[in-house]
Structure 1
């Protein structure tokens, strides 16, 4: 594991190249590496949420004179669920009608019911991240296969790169949890830099074609991520 982590962090993309060249006994298998890192980091996120009383909860307004509501925003997408002004009925914005009806049945129309249900919403959202990312991984690998279809790589080889890259992303998420000033910014900046260098090492090509492919891939993955996150938020509300 330590040899694998050292190569993963020291030389972006080299771990994937070594695996594709057949040097598989020297390093942890891609799926095992990803599962180990993601589970540990998500566990750390859950623990830090429980231990930190100042951690902000999803927006819930229950002030006197205002109607209670839940608001979830991801990127440019947002979803609002709450009580209509005056307490007359249930309303949803940016939510399908069938889902809104199920939410009304699930949450009820009373402010107390809405407030009680949101107490565990953040924990359920955290629990949904792991399965959500595991579903998104094949989508990212499919995007790689389309963007680099002229490289004549099998889908499973793109999936290996996706596993290694997501393992690094989870490591950086874990770094942001450390109580060290400025380290969070370094971790967030490392993600795009590392991704670019890893793509260059594994797939090669001219820098401008690489930049074009990376831009298309980033747009595709961000859209997929936003959609999946909204579905995860709905699942957390309905769970």
Structure 2
């Protein structure tokens, strides 16, 4: 009897092994399984059924807390151009998608202030007193210039009688500045909520800026610019979120370094992603910074206007 003809003793699987054994058919579509994933629908052959696995899936769903994250973050931090280039070349199963990096960074930027308490700093009594004093001084100064006599202390002044006049508009403007700390906190909360809802607008704005800067570079599409802009904005957001977690005085030093680190990162990103020279990358990074500041200013102005109109 040859070795190939000898019978092989097969022990019955124990209960633990049978629980983790992959089924013969996909539980989602019923197709026969030949590996770790279904060839028809892509679902995993082995499905988790423990609470620990459920928590792991939650972390993976929110932050892609798996091997892709640790392959993505080093490249995003130190070789962003290579990351964008490899993603566009088709290496996509190895890295976290650029849109997910951007969305997760936005989530951290707008969530951490509430976790750390930096978004709920109340207006002190001294600040409120100083604000009222500044407004009263401004009203008195401009009233004198307009030759308008304000009522004495204790008397009432009906704004309706001055509607449409210069001093009436001034007083209405001054009254609007005398918000209570609660009103200021409420407006700040509404502003942050509106900014979070509209943060996606930053992505197409950045993409269009890159398309403008690379107008004379052949072979690049809006998809390419979108990958670079999403990874770039994602890194920017992650750096801001990291600064929110740092204690003082480390946070102060970190904030002083950001205006240097972020432009350098953008320059390295442009050079690697588009194959530019150092001169071309540096000039475009300066233009990118200037146009981005303008776009961000318009974004903040629009969010403020929408929040004030509600």
TM-score between both structures, scaled by the size of structure 2: 0.57
Partner residue, 2:29 = none
Gaps of 5+ in 1: 70-84, 92-99
Counterpart contact for 1:46–1:123, Cα < 8 Å: no
* Mean CA deviation greater in 149-158 or 167-176: 149-158
Counterpart-to-counterpart distance in 1, 2:208 and 2:259: 25
Partner residue, 1:215 = 286
210, 215, 222: which one aligns with 1:144 = 210
Give the structure with the larger strand fraction. 1
Residue 165 of structure 1 and its aligned partner are, at CA, apart by: 0.3
1:13/1:54 Cα in 2 relative to 1: closer, same or farther (>3 Å)? farther
55, 59, 63: which one aligns with 2:132 = 63
Partner residue, 1:95 = none
Counterpart contact for 2:122–2:185, Cα < 8 Å: no
Partner residue, 1:195 = 266
Counterpart contact for 1:145–1:155, Cα < 8 Å: yes
Counterpart-to-counterpart distance in 2, 1:55 and 1:207: 47
Q: In angstroms, what is the RMSD of aligned CA positions? A: 3.4
Partner residue, 2:23 = none
Counterpart contact for 2:207–2:222, Cα < 8 Å: yes
Query: Match of 1:151, SS?
Result: coil
Residue 141 of structure 1 and its aligned partner are, at CA, apart by: 0.6
Counterpart-to-counterpart distance in 1, 2:307 and 2:257: 31
78, 102, 108: which one aligns with 1:40 = 108
Counterpart contact for 2:211–2:225, Cα < 8 Å: yes
* Mean CA deviation greater in 172-181 or 115-124: 115-124
Partner residue, 2:96 = 28
Counterpart-to-counterpart distance in 2, 1:65 and 1:143: 41
174, 179, 183: which one aligns with 2:241 = 174
Counterpart-to-counterpart distance in 1, 2:70 and 2:205: 29
Counterpart contact for 1:9–1:168, Cα < 8 Å: yes
Residue 198 of structure 1 and its aligned partner are, at CA, apart by: 0.7
TM-score between both structures, scaled by the size of structure 1: 0.72
Partner residue, 1:155 = 222
Query: Match of 2:280, SS?
Result: helix
Counterpart contact for 2:271–2:281, Cα < 8 Å: yes
Counterpart contact for 1:137–1:162, Cα < 8 Å: yes
Counterpart contact for 1:175–1:184, Cα < 8 Å: no
Cα displacement string for residues 27-72 of structure 1 (whole angstroms, at most 9, x for unaligned residues) = 111111211222023200233345763689xx97652584499xxx
16, 19, 44: which one aligns with 2:87 = 19
Partner residue, 2:72 = 4
Counterpart contact for 1:16–1:161, Cα < 8 Å: yes
Say which one has the larger Rg.
2
Residue 160 of structure 1 and its aligned partner are, at CA, apart by: 0.7
